Amino acid sequence: MKQKNVKIGLLGLGTVGTGVVKTLQTHQDQIEKRTGKHIEIRRILVRDLKKKRGVSVDPSLLTTSPEDLLSDSEISVIIEVMGGIEPAYSIIRKALQTGRHVVTANKELLAKHGAELLELAEKNGVQLWFEASVGGGIPVIRILQSYLHVNRVQSIAGILNGTCNFILSEMARTGRPYADVLKEAQALGYAEADPMNDVLGFDTMYKLAILSNLAFDIHIPPTAIETEGIQQIEPIDIEMAHAWGYVIKLIGSAAYTEGLFSASVGPRLLPVSHPLAQVNDVLNAVTISSDVVGELTFIGKGAGELPTASAVMEDLICLCSGGAGWRIPAFHKDNVQIDSEEQRVQTCYLRIAVRDERSNELSKRIEQVVHGLGGFTVEKHVRRLNDQTYVTYLIGGMERNVIRSFVADLEYVGLDCKPLLIFVEESEVQEKEIAYVAG
């Protein structure tokens, strides 16, 4: 980038946009010293001109019309921190087509339209940067883009959603209910505009799709990733997991070997000794396993105003400094063969909640069916809470799809027992097996 004064069009002045403006206000000197450029925010697109802002900005910069940014020939970089598909997608397309570089934090947009937008950027001789789209302040995109050229990445696994990690850690620390902690995550600016994107696992799914595209040099649409959320987890699940030596985390993991890609997102029981088990609060962690360097793990704040603004600003600074020597990210168009994880034999946690008088009958039936399907009960616990009896199990020896269809049947036959199934990430249940427990 040749010009000394770089003029920015900012799309959005919410949590991340506010962090970007604050960081520019407090770090302009350092940026100038390091890049020789002066950064100026020229226009800011918002929805509501009257809204109270968390940072002081000249009100004349605010506009509700994207055209005010796109028609300003002085603007050479668009920073998109508004979220969602439309109007972000159309504005970014126009920005790239009219020769503007784009920096975005929008994981949904990248996961769904990354290949097309990167191609459009290349065609128009501009760049599209998206470090903030995964892992908040952790520079994991940069690592995949610019550090692992000689390595073949075999797998990626991690905690990729700050909101869910905050909810699960806070529930574990305080015993507070899920809905209560979700509200706090929203107030702290961690959650998406629609927090269902966080708790149903979609945000992690988008991030895992982006990482997979970059790490494995293949095209992975987000729909290829089996996804479950944390919305059904109750304090008792966290407590029982803990009693049996586990911690519950929302994990996204993907592997690519011999042309086969497999990936999933869902709550998992991690043994307390697992490296990701002690990654708490809003922290994210990503482990990349590759053939030459081995395992690399990165931990840092995965959401929030300043950590995310840091990633956006680092992209902007790289862009201003030429971004030399970095591989244009792949996002190849060829589709890849998807391998289901459903045939995997995996230990699982099963919880049912029933009215007292039915708990004995139902739990006996569950144990018999599990046994009949080749599984075995490793642990069992019965707890009375309010007007319900919670029966929790650790079950071994069954394929994912077999236990899943058994649990679906429990619901199908009208047993109002609120079943919850969570798979164990790593386990040694063959050694810990105690016996088949039947009444």
Ligand X SMILES: N[C@@H](CC=O)C(=O)O
Ligand Y SMILES: NC(=O)C1=CN([C@@H]2O[C@H](COP(=O)(O)OP(=O)(O)OC[C@H]3O[C@@H](n4cnc5c(N)ncnc54)[C@H](OP(=O)(O)O)[C@@H]3O)[C@@H](O)[C@H]2O)C=CC1
Shorter beta-carbon distance to ligand X: residue 171 or 303: 303
Are 362 and 370 contacting, i.e. CB atoms less than 8 angstroms apart?
Answer: no
Helix (H, G, I), strand (E, B) or coil at 343: coil
Of 41, 81, 120, 141, the residue at the interface with ligand Y (CB under 6 A) is 81
Instruction: Please tell me the distance from the alpha carbon of residue 412 to that of residue 391, in angstroms, as a whole number.
Output: 19
Judged by CB under 6 A, which of 229, 302, 329, 397 binds ligand X? 302
Sole binder of ligand X in the list 104, 127, 155, 163 (CB under 6 A): 163
Check whether 192 is labelled as a binding-site residue: yes
Q: Which residues within the stretch 158-197 sit at the binding site for ligand Y (CB under 6 A)?
A: 189-190, 192-193
Instruction: Return the one option of ligand Y, ligand X, none that residue 193 interacts with (CB less than 5 to 8 A, by type).
Output: ligand Y
User: Of 95-154, which residues contact ligand X (CB under 6 A)?
Assistant: 136
Q: Which residues ranging from 106 to 125 are in contact with ligand Y (CB under 6 A)?
A: 106-107
**Which of 60, 62, 20 is CA-nearest to residue 45?**
62
Exposed, middle or buried by CB within 10 Å (0-12, 13-18, 19+), for 402? middle
127 contributes a contact to ligand Y by CB under 6 A:
no
In sequence order, which residues have a C-beta less than 8 Å from that of residue 194 and are 6 or more positions away?
none
375 binds, among ligand X, ligand Y, none (CB under 5 to 8 A by kind): none
Residue 168 marked ligand-binding: no
Counting contacts by CB under 6 A, is residue 190 touching ligand X? Answer: yes
Residues 105, 311: Cα–Cα separation, whole Å? 9
**Shortest distance in whole angstroms from residue 3 CB to ligand X:** 31
How far apart are the C-alpha atoms of 53 and 45, rounded to whole Å? 13
Selected from 161, 213, 262, 310, the binder of ligand X by CB under 6 A is 161
Can you give the C-alpha Rg of the chain in angstroms?
Answer: 24
Region near ligand Y per CB under 6 A, out of 12-20, 286-294, 313-321, 418-426: 12-20
Taking the least distance from each CB to ligand Y, the nearer of 87 and 322 is 87
Asked if residue 107 belongs to a known ligand binding site, the reply is yes
Q: In degrees rounded to 5, what are phi and psi of residue 150?
A: -85, -15
Contact flag: residue 215 with ligand X (CB under 6 A): no
Count of residues of this chain found to bind ligand X when the rule CB under 6 A is applied? 11
Q: Which does 198 bind (CB under 5 to 8 A by kind): ligand Y, ligand X, none?
A: ligand X
12: which 2 tokens?
């959005």
50 is catalytic: no
**DSSP states along 45-112:** E-S-TTSPPSS---GGGEES-HHHHHT-TT--EEEE-S-SSTTHHHHHHHHHHTT-EEEE--HHHHHH
Query: Which of 207, 333, 380, 432 is flagged as catalytic?
Result: 207
Q: Which residues from 32-51 bind ligand Y, rule CB under 6 A?
A: 45-48, 51
DSSP reduced 3-state for 365: helix
Asked whether 197 and 84 are in contact (CB, 8 A), the reply is no
Task: List residues near ligand X by CB under 6 A.
Answer: 136, 161-163, 190-192, 198, 203, 302-303
Q: What residues form the annotated binding site for NADPH?
A: 107
* Catalytic positions, written as ranges: 207
